Structure 1
Amino acid sequence: MIADMDTPPLRQPCPPAVCICRHRELLDDARGDRRILRLTRHEERRLLERLENLQDLDDLRHLQRRMHEQLGIRLEVAPGHHEVRSARGIAITFAEQAGLCRKTRRAIPAAIRRAMERRPEIVWRLLDSFDLLGGA
């Protein structure tokens, strides 16, 4: 059987009982949002590299929009409920989504935090966008 050249490559499923991604379930459901399956391991590495090299808060917001448009990933980046003293105090959460691998759920926030540690002005702008600096 020859693969359709118009069909993008899909992510290979995680081994059974190792992940919570529900990859097979998503493939079997014709009505499900399959965009996340376009995030192959190669594309995931490219995304993580891009996230690690964020330039500013606008760049982060742009990537959040693109991840939602292209992959269906809803990513929320906001100050945590407790005092924020570093990039570790920023809450990075995902909306529930079938097909999003457990490892990817850990790797994306880690890449964003590394970018924030390299460029603390991203954290400051984020805090300011929530008016947590009080106009300082």
Structure 2
Amino acid sequence: MKSNKIIFRICLAVFSIAIIGSIVNSIINYETVVTTFENLGYPVYLIHLLGVAQSLGLILLLVNKDQYLVEWVYAAFFLNFILGCFAHLAVESANGASAVVCIVILLVTYVQSKKVREYSGESTTSIKPNFTN
């Protein structure tokens, strides 16, 4: 169990550094990021929304209080990286590799968080409504 928790914390730390690096890069190299977004066909205002969403998602992952919200955060990050890969492939840009690396780290973090929660006795199943009444 200790190894699962260590792997989870290391992968979460690496993932956090990648997300923080992405946010800081968007602030420092704003003109370059604007050019990249325009080349990919995205509107420029998404840079700010993406930065805020990534910040909130990272905070929710690090706090890790409500399992329901954490599941949605993992799904949102996964969609963000998948759509980023597809956007880079669509315009034949070779910069989609970082998103693939982040997807792998995200998936390892997700699987390890499930194992850590199962071992600690926290319920990972959601309450299903009973519609038979």
Q: TM-score range by the shorter chain?
A: 0.3 to 0.5
TM-score, normalised relative to structure 1: 0.36
Q: 1 or 2, which has the higher helix percentage? A: 2
Q: 1 or 2, which has the higher strand percentage? A: 1
TM-score, normalised relative to structure 2: 0.36
| Higher RCO (C-alpha under 8 Å, 6+ residues apart) | 2
